[in-house]
Amino acid sequence: MTRRPLQIIYPLLLLILCAACDNQFEFRSSSRYVVISQNLYVRSAPSPTSVVLRTYSQGDTITAKPSDSNWLIVNTDNATGFVPSNSIKPLETASHQGFIAFNNINNWHTATYWIILTSALALCWLCERLNMQIRKRIGSQGMVRRLPLIPVVLFVCGGLCGVLYHNWHNQLIDSLQSLLSFTPTQSDVMGWLLWAQVLVALITLLIDLLASIFKSGAKWGLLLTLSDLLLGLMVFASALLLTTPFYLIGLAIAIVLFAARYIRMVSRSTQQHPRYVPPV
């Protein structure tokens, strides 16, 4: 892909992303809380005088998401209710703390999110440049493998994790414990899905490593695989950061960005190092 189409695509994607910065696309993840007041009244509106829909006792756990600085939204008995934020506190367990920190960072309203996203995209570009330099060095000897698979697989995993986190935040948090303990239960569909992603990524990494070593030798093959893995990790982070707050729009933008860069990288590699044809 030439530079001119990319110069048109990138500003267009930036405009689409800015247009997506609206409340209807805002990511407000549900989290678990524990009731700290004697009685917690779920009300029909964010007002202390509105109708009470349900009552919780001290120590009960509920699932809620922020509405504003004073109220949180809960779903109870097929109805949406509101609870005061000073009557509950986050349920922070060992397996939840990392997700709570990620949820606080992954808010497009904050400067931290844009700094992290910009850094991830910049690192993606730097890793791509490094990868191309390594391929150029190896390709001069006619021993380069043109199609890296691990960045593609990690991109798919990043987008899929973003979709899962956006829609099934609590289930994903609960499944993390089984992923870390290597014991997903039979009914834990989310845990098995996470395990499938890890397994596919590891198999792809092994295939890339063996193919690179076979094509380029042990030294250059290992270096090229590490470069592909580093690029894949940056692609994973970028896809995840774009998908979780902006959902389908972010996923679409990530697909276009990655496809444009990947096609360009493969195209340049093919032009610089055409397939060897033996003389007649």
pLDDT band at 280 (very low <50, low <70, confident <90, very high): very low
CATH of domain 32-90: 2.30.30.40
pLDDT at 180 over 50: yes
Q: Which residues are within 8 A (CB) of 184 and not within 5 positions of it... i.e. 6 or more apart? A: 175, 178, 191, 192, 194, 195
Global pTM exceeds 0.85: no
The size of the chain, in residues, is 280
Higher pLDDT, 3 or 217: 217
Highest mean pLDDT of the ranges 84-93, 136-145, 266-275: 84-93
CATH 2.30.30.40 boundaries in the chain: 32-90
pLDDT band at 279 (very low <50, low <70, confident <90, very high): very low
pLDDT at 206: 93
Compute the mean pLDDT over every residue in the chain, rounded to the nearest whole number. 76
Nearest to 170 by CA among 45, 75, 58: 75
Unique residue bearing structure tokens 């504003």 = 68
pLDDT in tens, 113-127: 888 888 988 898 898
Residues 92, 96, 98: CA angle, nearest 5 degrees: 115
How many Cα atoms are found within 13 Å in the side-chain-facing hemisphere of 8? 4
Instruction: Report how far apart, in Å, the C-alpha atoms of 242 and of each of 97, 105, 246 are.
Output: 22, 13, 6
